[in-house]
Amino acid sequence: DTGVSQDPRHKITKRGQNVTFRCDPISEHNRLYWYRQTLGQGPEFLTYFQNEAQLEKSRLLSDRFSAERPKGSFSTLEIQRTEQGDSAMYLCASSPPLGRQHEQYFGPGTRLTVT
Amino acid sequence: AQKVTQAQTEISVVEKEDVTLDCVYETRDTTYYLFWYKQPPSGELVFLIRRNSFDEQNEISGRYSWNFQKSTSSFNFTITASQVVDSAVYFCALSEYGNKLVFGAGTILRVKS
């Protein structure tokens, strides 16, 4: 059983550029979460999907951020016009269907550096 | 609003010492889950334990044990006979049923040989 995978693992970009990250959840996990972790802090919730529906978005998710989960499988997180403050680790997690949805399994993360 | 506080920013111990990591939480929900995750230098969050709000039994798994006390809103984690491989950042987290995790700021544990 493969775990949650994320691509790329590292991304360096210049301020003002757009970036897109991908997350592939564990197969048959219907919930998918995005978190952001800055240095020295715990992960902070950004958004989550149940199947293809985006059910909750944090206030941290500004208009420059958009997430999608077409067909309820993989998900993408896009950041437009990146700013230096966007530099962080972006973590994806998935959880199984009803009855076990409280178990979240994390991927290795995508580390974004905005120069 | 939910909140998790890990007051210990960093702890250093010598190998084989016991160490306890503190976690205090706030929630208005009667149904909730508590978690501990380990984040080694590689960065990936590793799930250690989950506890629901209706189960206050303490749990032991090898050198790890957890003490859940609703009366003090605490969910503390003890490592017995610590080892260098235990060095990592440890996060306590809280969630309502099936929803987002709210993490504490983490405790850096350094185990010296």
**Confidence label for A71 from pLDDT (cuts 50, 70 and 90):** confident
Mean pLDDT over each residue of chain B, to the nearest integer: 93
DSSP string of A22-87, one letter each residue: EEEPPTT--EEEEEEE-TTS--EEEEEEETTEEEEE-TTS-TTEEEE-GGGS-EEEEESS--GGG-
**Confidence label for A47 from pLDDT (cuts 50, 70 and 90):** very high
pLDDT at residue A1 is higher than 60: no
pLDDT of residue B99: 80
Average pLDDT over residues B32-60: 89
Average pLDDT over residues A57-63: 88
Note which residues in 54-113 of chain A have CB less than 8 A from chain B.
56, 89, 91, 93, 95, 98, 101-109, 111
Average pLDDT over residues B79-85: 96
CB contact under 8 A, B98 and A31: yes
